[in-house]
Structure 1
Amino acid sequence: MAKKKDDAFDQAYSRGAKVKRFFTIIVFILTVITCIQLFFIHDSKQFNRQVFSLIQYIAFFLILNSPKLLKKYHLEVPVEVYIVVTIFAFLGLVLGDGLNFYGRIHWWDSLLHFASGVILSFVAMWMIQMLIGRHERHQLLDTVLIYIFVASFSLAAGAFWELCEYTTDDIFMTNNQQYMASTRGTIITKNDVPLVGHAALTDTMKDLALDLAGALVVIAYECSKKGIQKKIKKKKSGETSKMSE
């Protein structure tokens, strides 16, 4: 019975299944390579780095299989949301943390925070459509409130993520909030030097600003899309009235 449900999921979400298969192969290969390397590493710093990468790969596998888990609680994840979240998790967990893109590429963290603002805003729009209906008509005030909710949702999720980063850094002595002056990577050592004063707050404030910027891009996109739809509707109604005359 469980296998039939899994097959039905793969058929209904064929695109999601292809994405899942593609990333599963890549991350499985990385996981195997990392496990093999653990047996040949004698340096404690490198060993900790590889263990940390392994944890990120496991976390990514959990995200890959999250729709099936949510389905048990009667929650359906749209295939578009699943694909976008999976790609984002791959960029953050696998490339960012696992392969240390955060340390190697200085703008990688900023790119992902901007992208998260965009993704979270589309998720917020999806939530609104589920609550009030896709074809519901709204007044101008309702539209403004929707956009305020979208921006607030993106900022709130970004702030919650910063709290998670702070907690993780405090417990595991990592550098998720990039408060170190000597490295931008997630793993730190006793020799790394922290930022002092106002400079230590820069990364958090920049991340929240990028979350908001991503939300504003989505809001601008939705506004322009509605404007185009109104023009098309107005043009069609004009053509219809001419034909009736």
Structure 2
Amino acid sequence: MWAVLAVEFVLALWEQQWPLAGIAVATFVMTLAPLVLVSRLGVRLPWSFVVSITAFIFATIYLGEAADFYLRFWWWDGMLHLGSALGFGILGFLLVFMLFQGDRYAAPAWALAFIAFSFAVTIGALWEIFEFAVDSAFGLSMQETGLADTMGDLVVDVIGASAGAAAGWLYLHGRSLGGSAALMQAFIDRNRQLFRKFRK
């Protein structure tokens, strides 16, 4: 994906398509930003996380905006909302679990799952507020059809957040939702200093 962005940037400069070149650069910078941030916080991301983050940003900004996937595929926005909510649900679980240093008995599994769910839905709601603010301030159409688009996105966010929270709950019970358990275990294994009380 980084190679595609580099090639597109060069081609855009060659063809003097300045907005496209700007989007390619912005996308590249945004894919690196989370990696720089977590490294400063002393967190080590498994490659599965790195690939997921890069793919999501690439799909959202470059494919969505530059390649007009939002207009060409009616399901593109919903798919990204579902994926991001699922990811934030898992991230929310890991953050809460980190606060307890990996002690699975510090709180009931349902409580950790509920906090993870709330975290993911909050992120989704804040994004919708951001879209509304940008549309109101700059006359854009990020919300597309207005209320229907916003409510549809929130419904999808709730579904994704529920799946992410369920993945955390299942993990604490020794089960998995898809490959979620392996994903979370990989994160914990690479950050053992943050999960000192964790026991398999």
In the superposition, the TM-score normalised over structure 2's length comes to 0.76
Give the Cα–Cα distance (whole angstroms) in 2 for the partners of residues 218 and 157 of structure 1. Answer: 13
Larger Rg: 1
Unaligned stretches of 5+ in structure 2?
176-200
Aligned CA-pair RMSD: 2.3
Inter-partner Cα distance in structure 1 for 2:66 and 2:51: 20
Displacement of 1:138 in angstroms is 4.0
Q: Distance in 1 between matches of 2:53 and 2:40?
A: 19
Contact 1:54–1:98, Cα closer than 8 Å, also in 2:
no
Distance 1:213 1:172, change over 3 A: same
Give the gaps of 5 or more residues in structure 1: 1-22, 40-49, 180-199, 230-245
Cα 1:74–1:217 shift into 2, 3 Å: closer
2:187 aligned residue: none
Q: For the residues of structure 1 that align with 2:116 and 2:140, how far apart are their CA atoms?
A: 31
Q: Which has the higher contact order (CA 8 A, sep 6+)?
A: 2
Aligned length: 174
Provide the residue aligned with 2:5 in structure 1: 27
Match of 1:144 among 96, 100, 110: 110
Aligned position for 1:154: 120
Q: Is the 8 A contact 2:135 2:141 kept in 1?
A: yes
Correspondent of 2:154 among 208, 211, 214? 208
Q: Where does 1:116-155 land on structure 2 (aligned, <5 Å)? A: 116-139=84-107, 142-155=108-121
CA distance 1:202–1:71, shift in 2 (3 Å): closer
Q: Which stretches of structure 1, 4 residues or more, deviate above 6 A after TM superposition?
A: none
- Please give the alpha-carbon distance, in whole angstroms, between the structure 1 residues aligned to 2:162 and 2:5: 33
Tell me if structure 1 keeps the 8 A contact 2:31–2:57. no
Q: What is the CA–CA distance in structure 2 between the aligned matches of 1:38 and 1:155, rounded to whole Å?
A: 41
Aligned pair in 2 of structure 1 residues 128, 100: CA closer, same or farther (>3 Å)? Answer: same
Does 1:177 find its partner at 2:155? no
Partner of 1:70 in structure 2? 37
* TM, length-normalised to structure 1: 0.63
**Structure 2 counterpart of 1:235:** none
Q: Alpha-carbon deviations, 1:62-99, whole Å to 9, x = none?
A: 12322563267444242343322111101111111121
Shift of 1:133: 1.9
Equivalent in the alignment of 1:99: 67
Q: Which amino acid aligns with 2:123?
A: A
The question of whether the paired residues in 1 share the 8 Å contact of 2:135 and 2:142 is answered with: yes
